Amino acid sequence: RSVGAPPLQGESFACSASMPAKSQRAPVVEVVDDKALSYTPGTLKDIRQSKYLIDLGGGDQWVDWQRVREAAPPCTEFIPQPDSIIEVRKAGAEEVWFEAKVKSVKGGYTVAVFLGSGGGEEIVEWPHFRPAYSRVAPARSRPPFVKQVFQLTDSRVHEWFKANEQRVVSDVVSKSKVLAFEVDRDVHQIKLLGAEKACATAKMLIELHGKHVGDMARVHSEREQLSAKLQHERERLTASFRLEFPVDKELIGLVVGKGGATVRSAQKAAGVDKVEVDPDGPRVVIVGPSQESIEAARELLEFVSRRVPVEQEQIGWLIGKGGRTFKELQEKTQVTRLSIDKAAGQVVLVGTRTAVDSALAYMDTHLQYLSEFEHEARESERLRRELRGITLQEDDEPAAQSARGKGRGGRGGG
């Protein structure tokens, strides 16, 4: 059975959908054995075309991407149902998970019959079983992870990244969720491993760090837009999928667009069958051929508004000279509306959820440099004052000598 098979009837996934964010966490994945129906954890170390280099604990091994899945997300204790499919850790193979069918459940113990080539059954208890992650994970038509190399054009920036790698990694990894971030010690580049969207976000943040380090006063030209292409080639499922989400009444106009243009564009781009905006909810209802397509449409149509508290002294730094920083922020993140509520001391962001999240990350990183700028400005002013004092002393010296000469001449004439 391949990774990403569609869920069976009656199955449900009881775990959290996301893994906890950790700076510099090990990029854990799981390698599939289609015969044994087992999943062995490993560390993703490199990517070469359609092959992944995985450390399985006993050495590195190149594996086809179809045999690699993202590690199952953590979950709380759950009670499996008879005849449902779960994943079980066998006695003597504590690191490997095997697919099994629940035969019976009684008194906290579960009898599981293994479905793979090894067969057999065992009595297990929590936490030696979990939901069958691959049964509910969406099917993939392309590799889930990619390798991207970010070139650093300024040698000074490269040296700063090497000296401050912990700081940069902590900021970029926690916000982008890339699986690996490595600053090359010899070549001016950074290697990223992770999902395309995560790598795109990581690139944006690296660029922002480099911009501030390379020349804090210089306006960088707009770089390529950091965005992830939605996966449109997944296998279509016969049954339709439905998704709905609420929307603020004042944002309905953004969702619909002029004459319905935004809805039509999202429907075409995502390949969904129908998008309805219910003003009474208000809510948006999306119907499409796959879970991927309706999630893609949601990403294009889910507009949100966020108010971010800021200190009074931070407002000018956020706006920038002539509104330069605000303009860059809007161009980079594609947030729809951006304004300052000075009375409330808040930045108001309006846009798609993805754009607003990117804008929040951009603002947070940008504000990290305010204190450094203020320190440099104070030091510059102190040096200017000291230089002016030295200049004034030099100007006063010839005048004093002239006055002494005149005094001596006066006494001689008397």
Per-residue tens of pLDDT for the chain, all 414 residues: 333 333 333 333 334 333 333 334 454 789 999 999 999 999 888 888 888 898 888 889 999 988 988 888 777 778 899 999 999 998 887 789 999 999 999 988 999 999 999 899 999 998 899 999 877 767 777 888 888 888 888 888 888 888 888 888 888 888 988 888 888 889 999 998 888 899 999 999 988 888 877 554 343 334 434 444 444 434 444 457 888 999 888 888 998 989 999 999 999 999 988 899 988 878 999 988 888 999 999 999 999 999 989 888 888 888 888 888 889 989 999 888 888 888 888 889 999 999 999 999 998 888 888 777 767 767 777 788 778 777 766 666 665 555 555 555 544 444
Residue with tokens 């999902």: 195
User: Cα–Cα distance between 274 and 268 in angstroms, integer?
Assistant: 10
pLDDT of residue 214: 56
CA 258: distance to chain centroid?
A: 31
Helical axes 155-163 vs 196-214, angle rounded to 10°: 110
pLDDT of residue 7: 34
CA 316: distance to chain centroid?
A: 27
pLDDT of residue 91: 83
User: Cα–Cα distance between 394 and 414 in angstroms, integer?
Assistant: 33
User: Cα–Cα distance between 210 and 79 in angstroms, integer?
Assistant: 50
User: Cα–Cα distance between 109 and 334 in angstroms, integer?
Assistant: 52
Q: Give the helix ranges, DSSP H, for 215-280.
A: 252-256, 261-270
Question: Which 8-state DSSP code applies to residue 406?
Answer: H
Residues with Cβ within 8 Å of 127's Cβ and at least 6 positions away in sequence, in order, are: 77
Which tokens is 134 given?
Answer: 């691959």
Question: Which 8-state DSSP code applies to residue 286?
Answer: E
Measured CA to CA in angstroms, residue 66 lies from 18, 47, 263, 282 at distances of: 21, 13, 34, 41
